[in-house]
Chains A and B, each alone.
Chain A
Amino acid sequence: MGLTKLLALGCAAAACVLASTDCRRSAPVSPPAGAVPVATGSGATVVRFGSVWVNEPRKSTLEKVAAEFRAQHPEIDLRIEYTQPDDYKAAIRTAVAGGDAPDVFFVWPGEWLRKFVRGRQVLDLTDELAKDDWGGRFIPNAKPLFEYRGRAWGVPMLMQCAYFLYNKGMFAERGLAPPKTWDELLEVCETFKREGISPIGLSNKDKWPLHHYVSILWQRIVGEDRVLDDYDTESEGAFSDPGYLDALRMVRLFADRGYFSENANGTSRETFRQLFASERVPIIMTGTWDLGVLQKSDEVPEGFGDKWDMFPLPEVPGGRGSQAYMMGAPDGYAVWADTKSRDAALTWLRFLTSPDVAQQLVSGLQELVCVKGAVNEQTAGDKLLRYATDLEAAPGVTPWADIMLESSVREAYLDSLSGTLDGTVSPEDVLTTLRNAHAKARAETGTES
């Protein structure tokens, strides 16, 4: 092949690269949503929507809602970009930092969102929410974490709460009742352990599951307000309460006695659900995000949903916190401050959180949508309904630490905490690591405007 021909080929390739970055109208095979944005007629306002709903049934439910929206709003070109939740944290920061964020994007509230606020990267939605009482649609317990410095910066979508799930049959066989306190839980675990069964299934490969145990114990022992204050890098709190160490020691006790499933640090979430679905472990702690999968899906046998039930997070008698608090946090969406399609973006967000769509989402996802009335007898199964009722009745919800801690603090804390499972890191060291990282982060916050 002559070199001239090669050069010509090269120019053609270059032209293709330039063309392919923006327009794919001549695609012979229809590209999947997410790999390539859907191109519609020109002149439409583009709204890019950053979503983490990659798995089923979330993805197809969202796609249905999006299709309805597009039908109702042909002047808006809605493009959904899907990213895995664990990749999303880095990806969205990269996108925002690079000046290329989606117009509406998924956020975790708490410190996670606050950082975006401090960097002036998200829109102040307070006035928008006041219009037409948009804000009034949402469940009260879900809104506080999206507020900061007196203004609202995002809207809640799904409420994620954690409970313990237990295998009814395995408990009944041994005459066990769901434990009400952590000490009772220890006894229940011991009963199973004596028979050689790992009582609690745990997958800590992603590092955050284990810290849920610690988070609820912290709230129960130290108290919900104190805990929130300590998480915050802008306040004086520094994890000085002795209750923090007690909680860490308690979790270490579970690990030492072998109450968690083996090799939890290397266990994936699928394996974790399998352990429960194949009835090899009687107890797991998980949340609303797994409700649908564990009741009816490819991963569990037929009718498995009837084999398990839930018990709320146990109490610590004598703890300073409210023993009736639930643990969880909503996740939701914010609007990018530099968006060029502000009105269209808000239109989409209002649509997504409208009562009808909310009910559709509940039916499709079997998860707790934060819109009032969305979870009801028509839309929700009985387990989800129970979450919703409990949520309404609960005095409050304590969030898990990883969305309230600053990034470097969170990374350091979760890293060292995972060492508790195999005994390589002592509870004292975990707390020291947390305190040091937190102090460093506090020092830096002080230098910001």
Chain B
Amino acid sequence: MTRSRPAQMLRVVALRALLVALAAIAAGPVVWAAFGSLKQGRDITTRPFALPRPPTLRNYGTAVEAGLLWQWLHSVLLTSVCVLLVLLLASLASYAFSRLSFRGRAPLRTLLLSGMMVPVHAVLIPLFVAAGRMGLAGSPISLVGPYVAFSLPLSVLLLTTYFAEVPREIEDAARLDGCSDLRFWWHVLIPMARNGLITVGILQGVWIWNEYPMALVMLTRSWKTLPVGLAAFKGQYHADWGAVLAGLVIVAVPLLALFFAFQRWIVRGMTAGAVKS
């Protein structure tokens, strides 16, 4: 039973309208927050849906004064260091898991992958006590180890899939040329699996950037990552909604901008690698 064209078009339009409505719900709060951050004090509560008149940057001043920009820097540094370490360690290990055969390969792989199940809460207390004993209490260095360690299972999983896809012929050719394992890994495998590396880097980078419970427990001094800093900022300025929204925008908008710029990679990476396994 074929439907008549007008009816079909109506269904398409209705479906699109529904989708747009849902998208409005998805994007609405952030857009509202962005506009709200430009409003003066009470206007957010008294005229929540009006445009800011006149728009003011005072709230951003408050947020910057409270140190949010520093925390931004902290997050950037910590995330970059951790992501680089993850990519390094995971790609080394994934090469071995995907293309070399050795005794204990399967059990070691399972051991690594099992880490994906464990909630980060399970390790909060021992890590916190250990950091104290080692004199690293409150220091961001205490977070590097755990962040890298907890990123490894998923990264190894994804990268193994990517590496396995590199054709056998290329490897054979490289071996014939006298390529050692390490050189093959660095000169051939890494460039070929660049998409996979970027995807993994982005996935883990986002997770580390947004991570809250571990950072909350471990970072007790003034060196804070953005999620912890933002929560503290809200705690102190919770009456000043303008400032809080400005802080929010500082946190969310750059990430969103980066995301929209790189969304092609992320989407492709997610659909290609993430679910195949």
Contact = CB atoms under 8 A, between A and B. Distances in A.
A and B touch in the complex (CB under 8 A): yes
Interface of A: 3, 6-7, 9-10, 13-14, 16-18, 20-21, 29, 31-32, 34-37, 54-55, 81, 84, 86-87, 91, 94-95, 97-100, 268, 270
A98 B128 contact: yes
Nearest to A81: B222
B33 to A, nearest CB: 19
Given A9-B80, A34-B222, 7 more contacts: A3-B190, A13-B81, A14-B84, A32-B67, A35-B71, A100-B220, A270-B239
B138 A98 contact: yes
B220 A95 contact: yes
Given A20-B73, A32-B67, A81-B222, A98 B236 contact: no
A10 B84 contact: yes
14 contacts: A3-B191, A20-B74, A29-B69, A31-B70, A35-B222, A37-B222, A55-B236, A81-B222, A94-B137, A95-B138, A98-B131, A100-B138, A100-B220, A270-B239
Given A10-B81, A98-B128, A86 B70 contact: no
A98 B137 contact: yes
Name B's interface SS.
Answer: helix
A94 B217 contact: yes
Given A31-B70, A32-B66, A99-B135, A81 B77 contact: no
Contacts of A91: 220
Interface in B205-253: 217, 220-223, 232, 235-236, 238-239
A91 B238 CA distance: 19
Interface in B98-134: 128-129, 131-133
A35 B80 CA distance: 21
B153 interface: no
Given A31-B70, A94-B217, A21 B239 contact: no
Contacts of B191: 3
A13 B84 contact: yes
A412 to B, nearest CB: 20
A36 B139 CA distance: 13
Among A14, A34, A95, A100, the most chain B Cβ lie within 10 Å of the Cβ of A100
Nearest to B235: A84
B219 to A, nearest CB: 10
B65 interface: yes
B19 interface: no
Among A3, A35, A81, A91, the most chain B Cβ lie within 10 Å of the Cβ of A35
Contacts, number: 88
Interface string B38-77: 0000000000000000000000000001110111011001
Contacts of B137: 94-95, 98-100
A84 B129 contact: no
Nearest to A91: B220
Nearest to B187: A3
B236 A84 contact: yes
B92 interface: no
Contacts of A35: 66-67, 70-71, 222
A29 B68 CA distance: 13
A98 B191 CA distance: 43
- The list of the 5 closest CB pairs from A to B, nearest first, reads A35-B67, A98-B137, A98-B132, A100-B137, A10-B84
A14 B239 contact: no
Interface of B: 65-67, 69-71, 73-74, 77-78, 80-81, 84, 128-129, 131-133, 135, 137-141, 190-191, 217, 220-223, 232, 235-236, 238-239
A312 B129 CA distance: 46
A394 to B, nearest CB: 33
A167 to B, nearest CB: 22
Contacts of A81: 221-222
Nearest to B137: A98
Contacts of B74: 20
Contacts of B221: 81, 95, 100
Contact of A16 (B77, B129, B138, B236): B77
Nearest to A299: B239
Contact of B78 (A6, A17, A36): A17
A95 B222 CA distance: 12
B59 to A, nearest CB: 15
Nearest to B133: A99
A13 to B, nearest CB: 4
Given A3-B191, A10-B81, A268-B239, A36 B138 contact: no
A346 B73 CA distance: 35
B141 to A, nearest CB: 7
B67 A13 contact: no
A87 B84 contact: no
Nearest to A270: B239
A273 B145 CA distance: 46
Contacts of A94: 128, 137, 217, 220
A171 B161 CA distance: 76
Contacts of B128: 94, 97-98
A9 B201 CA distance: 15
Given A20-B74, A94-B217, A270-B239, A87 B232 contact: yes
Contacts of B139: 21
A57 to B, nearest CB: 15
A203 to B, nearest CB: 12
Contacts of B141: 17-18, 21
Contacts of B131: 98
A16 B137 CA distance: 19
A81 B221 CA distance: 8
Nearest to A35: B67
B135 to A, nearest CB: 7
Nearest to A16: B77
B200 to A, nearest CB: 14
Contact of A13 (B71, B77, B133, B232): B77
B84 A100 contact: no
Nearest to B240: A270
A29 B72 CA distance: 14
Among A16, A54, A94, A98, the most chain B Cβ lie within 10 Å of the Cβ of A98
Contacts of B190: 3
Contacts of B71: 35
A94 B80 CA distance: 27
A83 to B, nearest CB: 8
